[in-house]
């Protein structure tokens, strides 16, 4: 049997979406997708780029929107005392199956079951764009941080979620057909090497993330738009993706 060909990303704009319900619906797909070694951008380059922003372990670290737990496990291996939170029962089951000793809680990120100042570090890796209440989640992250604690965020870059390339050529134009500034919902369906995944998210401009951080009483320390390294370029992530950022990273401080 011949190997199935990769299919290009198929994006559909949605009038509305229940993001928590969508991620629970597609959780089993994501577990297979996320755990295929070396498969997606997490393994190729994105984890290492994000970890450059993350402070060394001190007291307790909260993984906000942990998914199936791959970053939680990696941070734990680096010495972090990890607590993982997700709103998907299927994802939490996968977290506990992979590491029964990792503390994991089923909870809404906008209503965390922790005391004020319980953590010195909160990470939200590729999760905030998939949460129904962005401002509530960031506000709760600020609440559970101790003074001088930090929030580290990675999201789909809003340029990425607002538009698309006109073709596969390295010089293909990047097109925004609707509004970059207007918030909207979208669904991406991807098939690669026999695996398929549906991502349902909300497009928000950069200002929405920065305002949420500021309104939570946090101060932005770093903002990065990392490029795809040459070593990670593939037929799926071609050289055109060195012109447009895939991801946005933010690190914020809770002042004393």
Topology, domain 7-253? Rossmann fold (3.40.50)
- Model's pTM, two decimal places? 0.94
Measured CA to CA, the distance from residue 247 to residue 225 in angstroms comes to 6
User: 219: part of which helix (H) or strand (E)?
Assistant: strand 219-224
One pLDDT digit (tens) per residue for the chain, 256 residues:
223 334 457 899 999 999 999 999 999 999 999 999 888 899 999 999 999 999 999 999 999 999 999 999 999 999 999 999 999 999 999 999 999 999 999 999 999 999 999 999 999 999 999 999 999 999 999 999 999 999 999 999 999 999 999 988 889 999 998 999 999 999 999 998 889 999 999 999 999 999 999 999 999 999 999 989 988 886 555 788 899 999 999 999 999 9
What does the DSSP 8-state code read for residue 44? I
Radius of gyration, CA atoms only, the chain: 18
CA torsion angle for 205, 211, 214, 216 (degrees, to 10)?
-110
The dihedral built from the CA positions of residue 70, 190, 26 and 123, taken in this order, carries a sign that is positive
């Amino acid at each position: 049997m011949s190997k199935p060909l990769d299919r290009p990303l198929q994006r559909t704009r949605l009038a509305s979406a229940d993001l928590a319900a969508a991620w629970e619906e597609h959780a089993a797909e994501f577990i297979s997708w996320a755990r295929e070694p070396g498969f997606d951008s997490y393994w190729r380059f994105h984890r290492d780029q994000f970890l450059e922003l993350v402070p060394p372990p001190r007291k307790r670290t909260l993984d906000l929107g942990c998914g199936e737990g791959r970053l939680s496990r990696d941070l734990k291996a680096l010495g972090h005392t990890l607590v993982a939170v997700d709103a998907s029962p299927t994802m939490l089951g996968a977290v506990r199956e992979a590491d029964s000793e990792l503390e994991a809680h089923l909870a809404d990120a906008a209503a965390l079951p922790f005391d004020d100042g319980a953590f010195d570090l909160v990470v939200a890796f590729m999760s905030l764009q998939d949460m129904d209440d962005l401002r509530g989640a960031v506000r709760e992250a600020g609440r559970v941080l101790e003074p001088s604690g930090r929030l580290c965020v990675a999201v789909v870059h809003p340029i990425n979620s607002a538009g698309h390339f006109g073709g596969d050529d390295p010089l293909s134009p990047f097109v925004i057909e609707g509004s970059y500034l207007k918030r909207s919902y979208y669904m991406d369906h991807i098939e690669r090497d026999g695996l398929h995944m549906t991502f349902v998210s909300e497009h928000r401009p950069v200002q929405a993330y920065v305002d949420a951080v500021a309104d939570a009483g946090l101060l932005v320390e770093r903002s990065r738009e990392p490029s795809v390294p040459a070593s990670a370029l593939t037929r799926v992530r071609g050289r055109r993706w060195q012109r447009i950022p895939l991801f946005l990273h933010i690190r914020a401080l809770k002042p004393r």
